[in-house]
Chains A and B, each alone.
Chain A
Amino acid sequence: MSNSTKSKVIFDRVSKSFDKRGEELCVLEDINLEVQEGEFICLLGPSGCGKSTMLNIAGGFERPDTGSVTIDGVEIVEPSDKRVFVFQEYGIFPWASVWDNVCLGLRKVPRAERDRVAQETIDLVGLTGFEKAYPMELSGGMKQRVEVARALAVKPDVIFMDEPFGALDSLTRLTMRSELIRIWKQEKPTILFVTHDVDESIQLADRIVVLSSRPGRIAAIIDVDLAHPRDLASEQYSKIKGELYELLGVKDWG
C-alpha cells in the first residue's frame, strides 16, 4: 500500500449558496485552499458553517456555484473511488458482513488479490477476527473502523472524513485518533478531516483551517508543528488552543 499516488487538492474561489425557502443562503464564500500531498488537514468551525458542504463539493457530491476544486489538476465533477468518504453517520452497509463491506471497492480486483488486500486492511484497523460479523454486532468505534477500512482498501488518493468520530464516547474518540494517526503515518494518504472539536483538530492535523460562519469563509490557517504523539500538556499545545478559541470567538475557555 506504500506506492499509492499522492495528490494535491486545490479549492479555487469556491462559493456555494442554498435556496432556503426563497431566500438565498450563502454557505461558502470565496474558499481558496491548497492541500499538499499526504497532508492531514482539519476543517474546524462552528456547526452549520459549511464544513460538510465544503467536503461534499470536494468529494463530487455537490457542485460549487462558482470556482472549482481540482485534484492533480483535474476538476472534480462526480464522486469516484479515488477519493473516498468516511461519513458523519455510519455509511457502512448493515446488511453486509465486515468482510463484504471492506470488499465493496474491490469488486474488480482478482480474487486472490482482493482477499489479501481485504485481510491486510482489516488487520490494519484492528478488526482481525471480526470478518464475519455484521455491523449490528459491533460497537460504534468498531463500525467506524470498518468504514475507515472500506476507504483504505481502495488505496484512495484522498480520504474525506466528516466528523467520523462524532458519535463516539470521548475515550473511544481518543483511541480512534491515535489509531488514525498510526494508519495515516503508514499509508500517507491525503486527509481532509472535518470536526468542530478544537482538541481533536490539534491532536490530528498538520494544518487547521478555521472557518467562520455565515457565510463560511476561511478565517485562518494554523500550522501545528508538533511531532506525533502530541503532548497535550505542552505549552505549544495550549498556545494553539488559545489561538483557535479566540478565532472561534470563545472567550472563557479555561
Chain B
Amino acid sequence: MNILPFAAILVSIVTIAKLRRYTTVLLPLAVTTIGVGLWQIACDYWLSETNPSPMETLLAIFEIHENGRLWSDAAASLFRVTWGFFLAAAVGIPLGLWVGWTTRGFEALNPIIQALRPISPIAWIPFAILWFGIGDGAGIFLIFYASFFPITVGTMAAVRNISMVHQRSAMNFGLHGIELFRRVVFPAALPQIITSLRIALGVAWLVIVAAEMVGMDSGLGYLINDARNMGRRYDLVAATMVIIGAIGVVLDLLIRRLENFDEVRWGYVKR
C-alpha cells in the first residue's frame, strides 16, 4: 500500500488547521496538495491502468520537454493567440470607442455585432480552413474572431457607461474630436477595456486548443489529439493539459498587470 498520498493529505489538513494567518502561498499550496493526493489515491484504488497518476504526468511533462514537442507546440499556439489577439484589439478598441460614442454608429453596427457574437468560433473552423488552409492563418483568424467580440462589445459598453457628469465636464470645458477621445472617452472606458481584454485573452486560449484539436497540425491542442491517437498516451494528454492551464494562468497574470497603472486603478476599487 502506498501511504505517501495519505500522509501528504494529512499533513496538508493539519497545516490548514494550524495556519494562524492565511497566507496567499501556503493555503492554496496545501489545498493543491490535497487535490493531488486524492488524484493519486484514485489511481491506486479505482481508476484503470490507462489513467495517468500525478507522477506519470510529471514524467510525461519531462518527456515532451526533452523531445521538444512542448516548446514547439506551445510556441505555435502562442504565436496564433498573440497575432489574433493583437489584431482583434487593434480593430476592436477603436471600433468599440466609435460605435459606443456615436448614436449612428451604434444603430448601424450593434445589431450585426450582437447577431454574430453568439456563433461559437469553433463553428467557423470549416470556413477558416477553406479560406486560409490548415495552419497559422486559420488559427489567427479564429483567435481574431474569438477575441474581437469581447473586446468590441466591452469597449462599446464602457463608452456607453461614461457618467453624465464626466460627459458634461468635457462639454463644459469645450473638448471636441480627437481631444475629447484622448482626454475623456478613452481614459473613462479604459478600466473596462482592460477587463474585456482579459476576458478575450481567456476565451482566445480556450478556443485555440479546441481549434488545434479539430483543424490544425501543430499546437498544444494538436499535441493532445496526437498523444491520444498515437498509442493512447493519456499521460501525455494530462501533461499537455497541465501545461495549457499553467500558460493560461501566466497569460492572465501578465494582462492583469495593466490594471495597476494610476490612470486605471480608480476603475477597480469598490465603491
Could you list which residues of chain A lie within 8 angstroms of chain B, going by C-beta atoms?
59, 61, 78-81, 84-85, 87-97, 104-105, 107, 134-136, 154
Return chain A residues, CB-CB under 8 Å to B174: 79-81, 105
Chain B: which residue is nearest A94 at the CB level? B266
- With known contacts A90-B165, A95-B187, A96-B187, A85–B172 Cβ distance under 8 A: yes
Query: Does A134 contact B262, Cβ atoms closer than 8 Å?
Result: yes
Interface-central residue, B174, B188, B265, by most chain A CB under 10 Å:
B174
Q: Quick check: B168 and A91 within 8 Å, CB to CB?
A: yes
Once the chains bind, are B173 and A154 in contact (CB under 8 Å)?
yes
* Contact partners of A90 in chain B: CB under 8 A: 165
Query: Are the C-beta atoms of A84 and B187 separated by less than 8 Å?
Result: no
What string of 1s and 0s marks CB contacts (under 8 Å) between B146-188 and chain A?
0000000000000000010110110111100001000110011
Given contacts A91-B165, A91-B166, contact A134 B172 (CB under 8 A): no
Contacts of A81 in B (CB 8 A): 172-174
Range class of the B interface residue count: 20 to 34
Are A135 and B266 in contact, with the CB atoms below 8 A? Answer: yes
Q: Which residues on the A side are within 8 Å of B263 (C-beta)? A: 95-96
Whether the Cβ atoms of A105 and B173 lie closer than 8 Å is yes
> What separation, in Å, do the CA atoms of A134 and B169 have in the docked complex?
17
Give bound CA distance, A94 to B264, whole Å.
8
Chain A's closest residue to B179 (CB) is A107
CB <8 Å contact, B171 and A79:
yes
Contacts of B262 in A (CB 8 A): 97, 134
- Majority SS of interface residues in chain B? helix
Say if the beta carbon of B190 comes within 8 Å of chain A: yes
Q: Is B115 part of the binding interface, using a Cβ–Cβ cutoff of 8 Å?
A: no
Distance A32 CA – B38 CA, assembled complex (angstroms): 80
Q: Are A95 and B190 in contact (CB under 8 A)?
A: yes
Tell me whether A134 and B173 are in contact (CB under 8 A).
no
Which chain A residue shows the least CB distance to B190?
A95
A80, A107, A136: the one contacting B269 at CB < 8 Å is A136
For this complex, 20 residue pairs linking A to B, each with C-beta atoms less than 8 Å apart, are A61-B168, A61-B171, A80-B172, A81-B172, A84-B172, A85-B168, A85-B169, A85-B172, A88-B165, A89-B165, A91-B169, A92-B169, A93-B184, A95-B187, A95-B190, A95-B266, A105-B173, A134-B266, A136-B265, A136-B269
The answer to whether residues A134 and B165 also contact, given A81-B172, A85-B172 and a CB cut-off of 8 A, is no
Among A97, A136, A154, max chain B CB count under 10 A is at: A136
Q: How far apart are the CA atoms of A93 and B163 in the complex, in Å?
A: 10
Q: For residue A134, which residues in chain B have a CB less than 8 angstroms away from its CB?
A: 262, 265-266
Main SS of chain A's interface residues?
loop
A160 nearest in chain B by CB position = B172
Complex contact B187–A93 (CB within 8 A): yes
Which of B168, B169, B190, B266 gathers most chain A CB within 10 Å? Answer: B169
Closest CB of chain A to B192's CB: distance in Å?
12
Could you say which residues of chain A place their CB within 8 Å of the CB of B165? 87-91
A83 to B2, CA, bound (A): 81
A74 to chain B, nearest CB (A): 16
CB <8 Å contact, B172 and A59: yes
- Please, which residues of chain B bring their CB within 8 A of the CB of A107? 179
Contact B169 A136 (CB under 8 A): no
With A93-B184, A96-B187, A107-B179 as known contacts, state yes or no: A136 contacts B171, CB within 8 Å.
Answer: no
Which residues of the partner chain B approach A87 to less than 8 Å between Cβ atoms? 165, 168-169
How far is it, in angstroms, between the C-alpha of A107 and the C-alpha of B168 when the chains are bound?
17
Judge whether B166 and A93 touch: CB under 8 Å. yes
A95 touches B188 (CB 8 A): yes
Looking across the interface, which residue of chain B has its beta carbon closest to that of A92? B169
CB-based contact B173/A104 at 8 Å: yes
Question: Which residues in window 182-209 of B have CB below 8 A to A?
Answer: 183-184, 187-188, 190
Residue of A nearest to B187 (CB): A95
Expressed in whole angstroms, the Cα–Cα distance for A85 and B164 within the complex equals 13
Question: What CA separation (Å) do A105 and B262 show in the bound complex?
Answer: 22
| Minimal beta-carbon separation of A212 from chain B (angstroms) | 27
Q: In chain B, what residue has the closest Cβ to A84? A: B172
The smallest beta-carbon distance between B5 and chain A, in angstroms, is 48
Given contacts A80-B174, A81-B174, A93-B184, A136 and B266 within 8 Å (CB-CB):
yes
How far is A181 from B190 in the complex, measured between Cα atoms in Å?
A: 38
Q: How far is the CA of A208 from the CA of B127 in the complex (A)?
A: 71
Complex: A92 Cα to B187 Cα, angstroms: 13
CA distance in complex: A85, B170 (Å): 11
A155 to B184 CA separation, bound complex (whole angstroms): 22
Considering only residues 235-271 of chain B, those with a C-beta below 8 Å from chain A are: 262-267, 269
Residues of A within 8 A of B269 (CB): 136
Inter-chain CA distance A85–B187, complex, in Å, is: 21
Residues of B within 8 A of A94 (CB): 266-267
